[in-house]
């Protein structure tokens, strides 16, 4: 796929990721389009989470993790080559995890602390931004009268929406979702899926999901990861209809049809 330079949010050139001597991914080349939703699918252990974490250098926190090649993120250049301001990178490239991880403090402080780190110390301004973000994820009506209660007492679905709001309040350019619905019930899943879809056009979104139907519903592009023998790579990448209806690689075709993986 050839994409014009100004429409690329993330460009990976011959990226490899390993943990000590364990290779997670090799020779990954990928261009992620700005403002689109890209799904990463593939069997467990095929390197999806590892690749996500390389995009905001959370990989630095993994023991013995080495990322090779060029990981070019718009506005930051090659994360491996340049001197990167990590606070600024992680504000710009936010991440939502499988298990909702609100801070075990009040709902209000979940917003106040990251905003303060970003230099917004005024309580009124912080409250204003929190309200906007909570409204955006449809949580304001549910929590406006309990902002001083602990965020980890909310239901799982509410916690995940709070985590999305907490990421949005920092006005990121890219949001990474690592199986954001796998700990949620079907109703909460539908709500979170809807929220992610609404980000299309505004942010660049990557979502790792085991749920192929979900990828089909919400993604524009899909990357199929595969890890077997000497193949540790993305074996298929393209728009949803092409990847699901006419996959080029045998691995992708067998995985997507449920015969393997």
Which listed option, Mg ion, ligand ADP, none, makes contact with residue 110 (CB within 5 to 8 Å by class)?
Answer: none
Nearest-angstrom CA–CA distance, 89 and 81: 14
Of residues 67 and 165, the one with the C-beta less far from ligand ADP:
67
Helix segments in the chain, DSSP class H: 48-54, 86-92, 107-117, 123-136, 140-143, 156-168, 186-198, 212-218, 240-245, 250-256
Q: Is 24 an interacting residue with respect to ligand ADP (CB under 6 A)?
A: yes
50, 56, 126, 209: which one binds ligand ADP (CB under 6 A): 50
Residue with tokens 């100004």: 6
Contact predicate 252/224, CB 8 Å? yes
> Is residue 202 classed exposed, middle or buried when 0-12, 13-18 and 19+ CB atoms within 10 A define those classes?
exposed
22, 83, 145, 213: which one binds ligand ADP (CB under 6 A): 22
Q: Is 19 an interacting residue with respect to ligand ADP (CB under 6 A)?
A: yes
In the bound complex, what is the minimum distance in angstroms from residue 96's beta carbon to Mg ion? 13
Distances (CA, A) of 190 to 39, 96, 160, 218: 16, 16, 12, 11
Nearest-angstrom CA–CA distance, 217 and 203: 18
Distances (CA, A) of 188 to 85, 156, 193, 205: 35, 8, 9, 19
Q: Is 48 an interacting residue with respect to ligand ADP (CB under 6 A)?
A: yes
Of residues 69 and 114, the one with the C-beta less far from ligand ADP:
69
In the bound complex, what is the minimum distance in angstroms from residue 240's beta carbon to Mg ion? 21
In the bound complex, what is the minimum distance in angstroms from residue 21's beta carbon to Mg ion? 20
Region binding ligand ADP by CB under 6 A among candidate stretches 4-12, 18-26, 104-112, 210-218: 18-26
Of residues 62 and 131, the one with the C-beta less far from Mg ion:
62
49, 56, 126, 209: which one binds Mg ion (CB under 5 A): 49
Contact predicate 61/123, CB 8 Å? no
Q: Which residues are within 8 A (CB) of 75 and not within 5 positions of it... i.e. 6 or more apart?
A: 92, 173
Task: Give the pair of three-digit tokens for residue 99.
Answer: 């298990």
Q: Is 126 an interacting residue with respect to ligand ADP (CB under 6 A)?
A: no
Of residues 114 and 261, the one with the C-beta less far from Mg ion:
261
Q: Is 62 an interacting residue with respect to ligand ADP (CB under 6 A)?
A: yes
In the bound complex, what is the minimum distance in angstroms from residue 41's beta carbon to Mg ion? 11
Contact set with ligand ADP (CB under 6 A): 19, 22, 24, 42, 44-50, 62
Contact set with Mg ion (CB under 5 A): 49
């Amino acid at each position: 796929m050839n994409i014009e330079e100004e429409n690329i949010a993330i460009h990976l050139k011959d990226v490899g990721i390993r943990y000590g001597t364990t290779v997670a991914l090799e020779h990954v080349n990928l261009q992620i389009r700005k403002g689109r939703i890209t799904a990463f699918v593939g069997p467990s252990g095929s390197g999806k989470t590892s690749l996500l974490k390389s995009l905001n250098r959370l990989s630095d926190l993994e023991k013995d993790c080495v990322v090779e090649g060029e990981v070019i993120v718009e506005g930051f250049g090659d994360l491996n080559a340049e001197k990167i301001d990590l606070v600024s990178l992680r504000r710009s490239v936010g991440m939502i995890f499988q298990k909702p991880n609100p801070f075990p403090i009040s709902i209000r402080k979940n917003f106040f602390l990251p905003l303060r780190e970003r230099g917004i110390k005024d309580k009124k301004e912080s409250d204003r931004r929190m309200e906007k973000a909570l409204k955006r994820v449809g949580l304001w009506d549910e929590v406006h009268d309990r902002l001083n209660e602990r965020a980890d007492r909310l239901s799982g679905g509410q916690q995940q929406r709070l985590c999305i709001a907490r990421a949005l309040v920092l006005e990121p350019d890219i949001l990474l979702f690592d199986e954001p619905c796998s700990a949620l019930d079907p109703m909460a899943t539908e709500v979170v899926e809807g929220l992610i879809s609404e980000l299309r056009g505004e942010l660049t979104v990557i979502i790792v999901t085991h749920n192929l139907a979900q990828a089909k519903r919400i993604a524009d592009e899909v990357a199929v990861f595969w890890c077997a023998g000497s193949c540790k790579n993305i074996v298929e990448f393209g728009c949803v209809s092409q990847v699901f209806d006419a996959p080029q690689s045998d691995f992708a075709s067998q995985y997507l049809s449920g015969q393997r993986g």
